[in-house]
Amino acid sequence: MKIVLAPMEGVVDHLMRDMLTKVGGFDLCITEFVRVVEQLLPPRTFHRLCPELHHGAKTPSGVPVRVQLLGQHPQWLAENAVRAVELGSPGIDLNFGCPAKTVNKSKGGAVLLKEPETLYQIIKAVRDAVPAEQAVSAKIRLGFDDKSLALENADAITQAGASLLTIHARTKVDGYKPPAYWPWIKKIKQTTDIPIIANGEIWSAQDAALCQEQSGCDDIMLGRGALALPNLANTIKHGHQGMTWEEVKALLVSYSGYEIYSDKGRYYPNRIKQWFNYLKRQYPEAEEMFISLRTLKDPQAIVELLSS
Ligand SMILES: Cc1cc2nc3c(=O)[nH]c(=O)nc-3n(C[C@H](O)[C@H](O)[C@H](O)COP(=O)(O)O)c2cc1C
């Protein structure tokens, strides 16, 4: 089985990818989305969201990182896809799942699930533009308001020549509310022959097994679950025990080392608090520590608390 680390805007940046892929179990990472409006973006935009492009598009532990694009214009998406691939991205991922509202007159994300024809045009344009050996993957939800176009959308994506499809098994309107409708992935899988990756609401090895059974997919993508339990991928793939709280704290301290001294140091207190929100789900100790952490603004004070 393959396990992909989910794109998570504002949460899974290159530092988080570095750390989680060091912990292990991941085969591929997808970047936060690059928003494409009506221009060819400069290389620095791609490098900002995917600094790994400077290092063969791999995390320091060697896991490939693929750039994700979000937008609505087939030609501009195609031109930017070519640029990302020329900069080293192993293929391109297209985001049709983001629930965010229209920005800068630009649609993109889940709203396009209402328009199978647009999905087709986008994927076809990108597929035609990037070299054939480069993967063009798409990431969708089951629909926007409901699931009535799920099969039509998957068909449009297949006909347009996508190499891979990741399905977050909820509609846009479902948001992040459990459950994820894994059996719907199987329904879609039965109508297409492109490889499918199942995504949504996998928090444990048991969830992963149930998702594989209900979706009929071997391959999965992990998002929030990997932040709640940093070695979730290894618990699924290799039957490892979940990390202890002491191990997680050591990881948090090492993350702090990266974050504080990186160019994003000023974001560090918020990032770490955000991460705690996920850890609280798995570790009661995180809930307790968050009470003291919540009011801290000084990175050094945070590291001292984490080291206590
Ligand atoms: C904070 C946050 C940011 C996200 N950003 C992206 C994104 O940039 N691109 C994307 O395709 N999906 C994005 N997603 C969706 C996730 O990739 C994933 O599909 C979703 O969280 C369901 O998987 P999970 O239950 O394993 O978290 C985001 C989700 C969250 C919670």
Backbone angles phi, psi at 35, to 5 degrees: -80, 125
Instruction: Look up residue 153 and give its two tokens.
Output: 């959308």
| 284-293 and 268-282 helices, crossing angle to 10° | 150
Q: Which of 155, 144, 156, 221 is nearest to 182 (CA)?
A: 221
What's the pLDDT at 263? 67
C-beta 98 within 6 A of ligand 1: yes
Q: Report helix, strand or coil for 301.
A: helix
Where exactly does CATH 3.20.20.70 map onto the chain? 3-238
Name, in order, each residue with C-beta under 8 angstroms of 133's C-beta and a sequence gap of 6 or more: none
CA-31 nearest atom, ligand 1: 8
Euclidean distance between CA atoms 54 and 263, whole angstroms: 16
pLDDT at 247 over 60: yes
Q: What is the mean pLDDT of residues 99-108?
A: 69
HSE (side-chain half, CA atoms, 13 Å) at 29: 32
Euclidean distance between CA atoms 257 and 265, whole angstroms: 10
- Domain 245-307 indexed as CATH 1.20.225.30: yes
CA-93 nearest atom, ligand 1: 11
Q: How do residues 27-79 score in pLDDT, each as one tens digit?
A: 999 999 999 999 999 999 999 999 999 999 999 999 999 999 999 999 999 99
Q: Report helix, strand or coil for 195.
A: coil
What's the pLDDT at 105? 59
Q: What is the mean pLDDT of residues 264-281?
A: 88
What's the pLDDT at 183? 98
Where exactly does CATH 1.20.225.30 map onto the chain? 245-307
β-bridge mates for residue 135, sequence order? none
The pTM assigned to this predicted structure is: 0.96
224's enclosing H/E stretch is: helix 224-228
Q: How do residues 279-294 score in pLDDT, each as one tens digit?
A: 999 999 999 999 999 9
pLDDT at 264 over 70: no
Number of C-beta neighbours around residue 287 at 10 A: 12
Arithmetic mean of pLDDT over the chain: 95
What's the pLDDT at 103? 55
Q: What is the mean pLDDT of residues 101-122?
A: 85
Question: How far, in Å, is the centroid of ligand 1 from the Cα of 173?
Answer: 14
HSE (side-chain half, CA atoms, 13 Å) at 48: 11
pLDDT at 260 over 80: no
**Residue tagged 């984490």 (tokens):** 306
- Domain 3-238 indexed as CATH 3.90.220.20: no
Pocket residue to mutate for ligand 1, from 224, 232, 236, 270, most atoms within 8 A of Cβ: 224
pLDDT at 102 over 70: no
Residues of the chain with pLDDT > 70, as a percent, come to 97
Euclidean distance between CA atoms 164 and 221, whole angstroms: 12
Residues of the chain with pLDDT > 90, as a percent, come to 88
What's the pLDDT at 255? 87
> Was 273 annotated as part of a binding site?
no
Pairing status of strand 92-96 against strand 136-143: parallel
Percent of the chain as helix, strand, coil, to the nearest 5: 50, 15, 35
Q: How do residues 200-244 score in pLDDT, each as one tens digit?
A: 999 999 999 999 999 999 999 999 999 999 999 999 999 999 999
14's enclosing H/E stretch is: helix 14-23
Q: Atom 6 in ligand 1: which residue has the minimum CA distance?
A: 8
What's the pLDDT at 46? 98
Question: How far, in Å, is the centroid of ligand 1 from the Cα of 95?
Answer: 10
Alpha-carbon distance values, 40 to 20, 75, 154, 184, 192 (Å): 31, 10, 28, 36, 32
